[in-house]
Amino acid sequence: MTSTTATTHGAKEHARAKAAREAAAVTAKPTIPVSEATNLPAAVERDDLVWDETLAAGDYASRVLERGSRLRIEDIEGDACVSLLVYSADAPAERLNVADTVKVQWQAYLGAGALLLSDMGRVLMSITEDTSGRHDTFSAPSSAWSNQRKYGQGDNHGPFPNARDRFQLALAKHGLSRRDIPPSISFFQGVTVEPDGSFRFTGAAPACSEGRRHFVELRAETRVLVVLANTPHVLDPRTTYEVSPVRLLAWRAAATTADDKIRNSSPERLRAFESLEDHLL
Amino acid sequence: MKTVEGEAVAGVVALDVVVEARAPWSHVVRAGETLRIVDLAGNQAVDCILYNPHDTDERYSAQETVTAQGNIFLTTGTTLLSTEGRAMMTITADTCGRHDTLGGACSCESNALRYGHHTRHQHACVENFLLAIAPYGMGKRDMTSNINWFMNVPVEADGSLGIVDGLSAPGKYVDLRADMDTLVAVSNCPQINNPCNAFNPTPVRMIVYGPAS
- Write phi, then psi, for B141 (nearest 5 degrees): -65, -15
Is the separation of the CB atoms in A181 and A175 below 8 Å? no
Q: Which residues contact B141 (CB under 8 A, 6 or more apart)?
A: A93, A179, A180
Question: What is the pLDDT, as a whole number, of residue A40?
Answer: 96
Give pLDDT tens digits for A35-66. 999 999 999 999 999 999 999 999 999 999 99
**pTM of the shown model:** 0.96
What integer best gives the mean pLDDT of chain B?
A: 95
Instruction: Select the residue of B61, B66, B143 nearest A119 (Cβ to Cβ).
Output: B143
Question: What is the pLDDT, as a whole number, of residue A60?
Answer: 98
Give pLDDT tens digits for B81-126. 999 999 999 999 999 999 999 999 999 999 999 999 999 999 999 9
For chain B, percent of residues with pLDDT exceeding 90: 92
Confidence of residue A170 (pLDDT cuts 50, 70, 90): very high
Residues of chain B positioned with their CB less than 8 A from the CB of A120:
109
When computed from its CA atoms, the radius of gyration of chain A, rounded to whole angstroms, is: 20
Res B3 pLDDT > 70: no
Res B8 pLDDT > 80: no
Is the separation of the CB atoms in A78 and A212 below 8 Å? no
Indicate yes or no: CB of A141 within 8 angstroms of CB of B113: no
Helix, strand, or coil (residue B119): helix
Confidence of residue A210 (pLDDT cuts 50, 70, 90): confident
Res B2 pLDDT > 50: no
Question: What is the pLDDT, as a whole number, of residue B81?
Answer: 98
Instruction: Select the residue of B61, B70, B103 nearest A103 (Cβ to Cβ).
Output: B103
Q: How far is B196 from chain A (nearest CA, A)?
A: 13
Res A145 pLDDT > 70: yes
Residues of chain B positioned with their CB less than 8 A from the CB of A193:
72, 155, 159
What integer best gives the mean pLDDT of chain A?
A: 97
Question: What is the pLDDT, as a whole number, of residue A1?
Answer: 66
Confidence of residue B5 (pLDDT cuts 50, 70, 90): low
Interface of A with B in 228-257 (CB under 8 A): 234-235
Question: What is the pLDDT, as a whole number, of residue B9?
Answer: 82
Q: How far is B14 from chain A (nearest CA, A)?
A: 31
Q: Which residues of B75-85 are buried (b: 16+ CB within 10 A; e: fewer)?
A: beebbbbbbbb
Is the separation of the CB atoms in B91 and B175 below 8 Å? yes
* Distance between CA atoms of residues A31 and A14, nearest Å: 23
Question: What is the pLDDT, as a whole number, of residue A209?
Answer: 85
Question: What is the pLDDT, as a whole number, of residue A90?
Answer: 97
Instruction: Select the residue of A178, A180, A193 nearest B72 (Cβ to Cβ).
Output: A193
